[in-house]
Amino acid sequence: MKALSGSITAGLVVLTALVIAAAVVGGDRGFPGPGTASIAWHVAAVVAALLLQRIADHRSRGVSFLGSLGVLVVAGALLWTQWWG
């Protein structure tokens, strides 16, 4: 489970970088991109996922599982609210 949540955390980092890049390019070229709120949600989700993944990687079995599960919840919430909502 730690490997899966680690991969998802890495994916969230890349996704956040792409959202920030889209905002910068959009601003430079004069087309609408993701707004400040969307960027803030992505950054907050990445910070939460990184903290939860650290817990998953460095704690005992039960707590590790909950950390991994937390990463999945954070990623699901971000995708649901910012991409599918």
- pLDDT tens-place string over residues 34-45: 999 999 999 999
Who wins on pLDDT, 25 or 28? 25
- Identify the CA nearest to 26 among candidates 17, 35, 15: 35
* AA letter at 27: G
The mean of the pLDDT values for the chain is 95
H helix intervals, 30-60: 36-58
The upper half-sphere exposure of residue 58, i.e. CA atoms within 13 Å in the direction of its Cβ, equals 6
Cα–Cα dist 15/21, whole Å: 10
What is the reported pLDDT for 36? 93
Whole-model pTM: value is 0.90
pLDDT, mean of residues 48-73 = 96
Cα–Cα dist 78/81, whole Å: 5
Q: Measured in whole angstroms, how far is the alpha carbon of residue 37 from the centre of its chain? A: 14
